[in-house]
Structure 1
């Protein structure tokens, strides 16, 4: 076994990324306080060819030195847009046929391992504030909620960790092993 060199990883250029077919997934970050969390989500979105990120409420936007520390250039590849009002964004996305799901612990949540994305359907997933989660008004407008099963004492994951788990799960459910080759 030999560790691969960067030149052997089959990395896309910025232009190649922008032209590549995207995973039919949109990420919504609402009221995210930590700029490092925002940067980490950009990096995850780049890794799995996420279509777009919406930054809402108090979430900071690029260009930003603190976001760039963890994004490592992903703000240049992943399409993003700022929206002040997450509620209006949810309504707009749903009006355009996009299923919107809160990543939240609610009474009727579907566990992530049981969530099966429909083919030929685009999804948006909302991650909320690090302390308060996805606001209730937004949850009520969603098609549903997805919960990451947890067995420990905290039942709480960092937003960037949650995003990595959810995005990977939806990505791998959309593609075959052959599709995932660089």
Structure 2
């Protein structure tokens, strides 16, 4: 699991050719002049939340990109002009669904036909539930690593200030 932190100023933003992703969100090509003066091109990235609205030429940014094992990069967090936006990780809920599917199949198999049903349920649960559990676990790891990077970069408040703001709301 590798991450890349890009800090600099936006030099250009434009819609990508494939303007919509599979989930219906817009994709953009973003060029950032980093702190070393080099132009970094992020092609066809999904700008989530309000990043698409706030990302404009000249904006000060810190972008966090995650690279998976297949070499595909995706934007997981962005800090634009003082506001941090973190990608929601919907796949992390898949782990819970996978565990639920496994448990449901096991209990139905054991209740209806005893031990033989439980063995059959295990044979069904492993190929259906286990992949969901693994994808969910990987997404949780990406989420924790993203927040660790943001905290190291000073883009998140301290835990005391976060818990304090939650206490004030209550």
Q: TM-score range by the shorter chain?
A: under 0.3
Kindly indicate which of the two structures has a greater share of residues assigned to helix: 2
TM-score (norm 2): 0.25
Kindly indicate which of the two structures has a greater share of residues assigned to strand: 2
User: Which of 1 and 2 has higher RCO (CA within 8 Å, sep 6+)?
Assistant: 1
TM-score (norm 1): 0.24
